[in-house]
Chains A and B, each alone.
Chain A
Amino acid sequence: MTVLTGRLSVLRFSLHWPSVRGRARADTGPLILSALVVALVSLLAGAVPGLMRDTADAAVRDAVRQAGPSADVTVQARWEPDDFTSDGSPGRMRMSHLAADLADLRGRSLEQLSPDLRAALRPPVASVITPTLRFTDGSVLRTFRMAYLDGGDSPKVEWIDGSAPPATVDGEADVPYNGPPWRVRVGLSESAAASSGVRPGALLQVRDERGATKNVQVSGIFRPVDRNDPAWRLAPWLLDPAADADGAGTTRFGGLLTAESLPDARLAFKPDELRRIVTFSPDPSVITWETAHGIAATAITLKATSATSSSLDTAPTWNTQLDAVLRDVTEQVSAARVQASVLLFAVIAGAVLILALAASLLGRRRSAALALARQRGAALPVLGAELLLESGLVTLVAAALGCAGAYLVTGGVAVWWVAPVVLAAAAAGPAYGIIAAASATRDRRVPANRSARRWLRHTAALRRAAAEIAVLLAATAAVVSLFQRGPAPGLPALAPTLAAVAASLLLLRLLPLVTGLVLHRLLRSRRPLAVFGAAQAAASAGRALPVLALVTSAVLAVFALTLGATVQQGLIDGARETVGADARIDITDEASGTTAEVAARIAAQPGVTSVSTAQVIDGARIIADEALVPSRLIIRSGGVSDPSVPALVRSSSGQLRPGMSLELRRDDEPPVRLTASGVAPVVSGAEEIVIVDAAALAAAGVESAPNTIWVNGPGTESAVTGAGALLRSEVLRDRRAAPLVNGLLWLSWASAALLVLLGLAGFALAAAAGAPQRWQTLSRLRTLGLTPRDARRVATGELVPWALATAVGGIMAGAALTALFSALELRLLTGQEADPAVVWPWLGLAVVAALFVAAVPVVVRFEAVARRRRQLAEVLRVGGQ
């Protein structure tokens, strides 16, 4: 320790501060450029992981919120049988304790929840909701349901007219089967009463779907104490009539039951028509990306250990789609996080290469001064310490600024993502400086022996080949791992970056061959400027770092740009797949009009160009190879291209294949034989799809009942207003606004822009590094009679191959890299069934290419102006570079 301290103190006193300051002043430009790169990349790399974490949480919450009631955790249990009487005669028993039973079920359900699941759910609400009834007064299309809600102390109501629904009879009672319809008393909301003109004491004329009359009497009019009470969410139609629910003019009304009238409601319906359900709504605000996995696993366990829905006893059955919702969104988030990592790795790789290029430029510019310092006795560690002090200071200040920005944006900094850039920026400068100083004073001469020189050349070539093979192997391993493991963290996320570096290495090998070939051909030409330009280009084509930095940046910029464009178009296509047209209406059982009527009404609206209908049956029992393949069956008119062969199939599992014989199983009916003749189009939301022609199916004895309407045309939105339609434009808007998609798109554009900027900065640095040599040669050519204008043309000729390699090679290699899109599972973001087709952002690619090509004359002009002040004679003096 003492020795180390002593050495450090010696180092401190040995540092030559005027040299440190002088070097920093002389090379302000490259140092500022390096600082800018570090600051920008630190900002991006430091902020994005935090933003992704927040975005992931937001996505999970958004998914739960979007899932709505389907994410509810419900407990369902049959009532105790009531098909007995006290005297044994045929009939049913009125059970007065149903509300208490329901409260008991609610309490028991709560106790069964594990702590983590309980923490993610809101307090339970027990409910009993009757089947839908229809008003028979014929005035307007109206439906009616009754509901009993118990959220503990809620929902509370205030009876503003009449009274709360009392029991029809007190206590228990025998009800014969053949008696008149049992009277049920209900309360109506203030608005329902007002819109229907019903007063307390009125009898509602309602029938069930079989036409059986129900005896429902209004006992009072209520006003909710708190309209936002979560319990109302289960039956919002109790508060306000829901108009136009199906687009056919239907209005839904609801009647509130009390603990007293609930037993009467049960008797008004068949024994199993009323079910008691306890509903736990998830609380999106407490669910995070990290807790989502645990919650989903608990929900699955709960479902697996509960009774089945077909159980005939009173054991509770747990049901929820929350696990599926969370599984889908966590898959989506995982993929998006890896996709973001892919882009971050790309930006960091581009930045590291540009920083290395800047450091090499500094090394070149300082080689003479450093050699002089060495000759004056400065030790390499001292020079290294001086350079490290400079680069460390610049890097730390820049990184601190970037990280401060990241902290302001996200409230945290992803240090591990920033570290590679900081390390590269801090170490590259001293490394190149020490190499320059050491090689300037190293007592190693080129051997006079030709075979020794050849041996040295071969050794260097082998070393380089070994490094290139290592990169190629790493890239291959990463690509294979990406295709095998999908978008997973680690090596797969590095695949595009490593592949881009490998492509750059390939181009680095090709470029000298191409420029050499061009030079060889031009030597026979009569154009001296072309020859000199090509000669200059051939001389600089083998410079590894500039080519590597420029091409890698361009390749990754093209990759990011194309990724963004593909996701953007994928969202549009995904929305079309999901909806199937500009709008889709799923006709529910509550609709009073038929599908044909609703379709005809919409078709008559202005701006509607096409309306088509079909029957969509999810979970149709299709038998293929003697195995049951639950599929989505779509029965549509003219939907199959070859009417002689009735089925088109699409199967993600591969169980349904064209050419197979299939069987459609039906309840109490003989099965229908189908022949899979072709491939069905992609249909969102279903993995196994069978599309059959309605007429062919009708010929086989199966009549279809269309339940879905697809609408197209510019006037679609206004035509389907109020019809409960799913609009493509709304789906697209929602998906674009979804946190994950929005975040990834933003990151794609930001990465592309940053990589292009890095590439342009790299071009300027590479040109600057070669400028002394270039203008020295040009000055020599000027002594042979070359004019200044011609000298600029020759300089342009030298830089053009880099620009072309970057623009053309970058775009081509970037295009080849898009083959990795299929492994990145972009469909999870775009909402498509299959991965989106690659979309080429032609304008963006043209701009990228144009920027690199346009950089050549700009750089040459700048260099020429910078050197105009220096006399030709000064340039040609020994050492006067």
Chain B
Amino acid sequence: MVRIRGVHRRFGQVHALRGVSFDVPAGSMVALVGRSGSGKTTLLNVVGGLDRPDEGTVEVDGAEVTGLDEDGLSRLRREKVSYVFQTFGLIPVLSAAENVGAPLRLARMPAADREKRVALLLDLVGLGEHARQRPGELSGGQQQRVAIARALASSPRLLIADEPTGQLDAETGRSVMALLRAVVESEQVTALVSTHDPVMMALADRVVRISDGQVSE
């Protein structure tokens, strides 16, 4: 599903990624672990097309991400790749349902289908009763659940999650991780998750360790 080959990324004098190469099979959940500053987020950004490598190639579902122009990257993000961020990234004035439906609006899905899909996803993340609430009215764990539902809305092939439990307490973090694991299985999504959380590592199909910009496994 994801092929990473010889990826280098430098920020000035800092060599954040040094020839990173590995594959992520379709339908699997890979945990990316490493200390702060090891290059986890940089690698996720390169894989998701949010950043461009200085060298190397990344393929997602057969498409070479590193060769796409801005419109191609937008299309990739709209159709194949979704993100879950540590800070949730919800739009404050929209309800939970509207936030989940945002990618579907961009995909111009008919309203009726969109509403059905949103309801399904909110039920999936256990927030069916909170559909009309705004992010400010939800707890951190609930917001992250909404973010996961939004990430799944457009039926992506790849879900990229950067420290999804970073702002949550341990218990909430565990439930979010369990949810992620569950949706990967139920939605047949490939997941690449950066984490420090041992629980997440235990839930992952594979753990990739990154140290000083290199894969150390």
Contacts and interface: CB of A to CB of B under 8 A. Distances in A.
Interface stretch (B102-110, B118-126, B198-206, B208-216): B102-110
Contacts of A523: 98
Nearest to B84: A783
A245 to B, nearest CB: 80
Contacts of B103: 784-785
Contact of A873 (B45, B79, B89): B45
A673 interface: no
B171 interface: no
A788 B70 contact: yes
B188 to A, nearest CB: 20
B111 A784 contact: no
A787 B71 contact: yes
Interface residues of B, number: 35
A838 interface: no
Interface in A488-540: 519, 523-524, 526, 528, 531-532, 535-536, 538-539
Contact of B93 (A535, A783, A871): A535
17 contacts: A526-B108, A532-B102, A535-B91, A535-B93, A539-B92, A780-B91, A783-B48, A783-B83, A783-B89, A784-B78, A784-B103, A785-B78, A785-B79, A786-B74, A787-B71, A876-B50, A876-B83
A523 B114 CA distance: 12
A443 to B, nearest CB: 19
B155 interface: no
A777 B85 CA distance: 13
Contacts of B87: 878
A873 B93 contact: no
Interface of B: 41-42, 45, 48, 50-51, 70-71, 74-75, 77-79, 82-83, 85-87, 89, 91-94, 98, 102-103, 105-108, 111, 150, 154, 163, 166
Contacts of A871: 45, 50-51
A535 B166 CA distance: 27
A536 B94 CA distance: 9
B85 A876 contact: yes
A782 interface: yes
A780 B51 CA distance: 14
B75 A785 contact: yes
B78 A531 contact: no
B50 A878 contact: no
Contacts, number: 81
Contacts of B51: 871-873
Contacts of B50: 783, 871-873, 876
Given A526-B108, A871-B50, A532 B89 contact: no
A645 interface: no
Nearest to B70: A788
Interface in A780-807: 780-788
Interface hub of B42, B48, B91 (most chain A Cβ within 10 A)? B91
Contact of A782 (B42, B77, B92): B77
Given A782-B77, A784-B78, 15 more contacts: A535-B98, A536-B93, A539-B93, A780-B85, A781-B102, A784-B82, A784-B102, A784-B103, A784-B150, A872-B51, A873-B41, A873-B45, A873-B51, A876-B89, A878-B86
A872 B103 CA distance: 18
B85 to A, nearest CB: 6
A782 B74 contact: yes
Residue of A523, A535, A783 contacting most chain B CB atoms (<10 Å): A783
Given A785-B78, A876-B85, A535 B108 contact: no
A735 B85 CA distance: 70
A877 interface: yes
A876 B44 CA distance: 12
Contacts of A788: 70
Contacts of A784: 77-78, 82, 102-103, 106, 150, 154
Contacts of A519: 93
A777 B111 contact: no
B106 A528 contact: yes
A535 B86 CA distance: 22
A535 B71 CA distance: 24
A513 to B, nearest CB: 13
A531 B74 contact: no
Contacts of B107: 785
Contacts of B91: 532, 535, 539, 777, 780-781
Contacts of B166: 878
Contacts of A876: 45, 50, 83, 85, 89
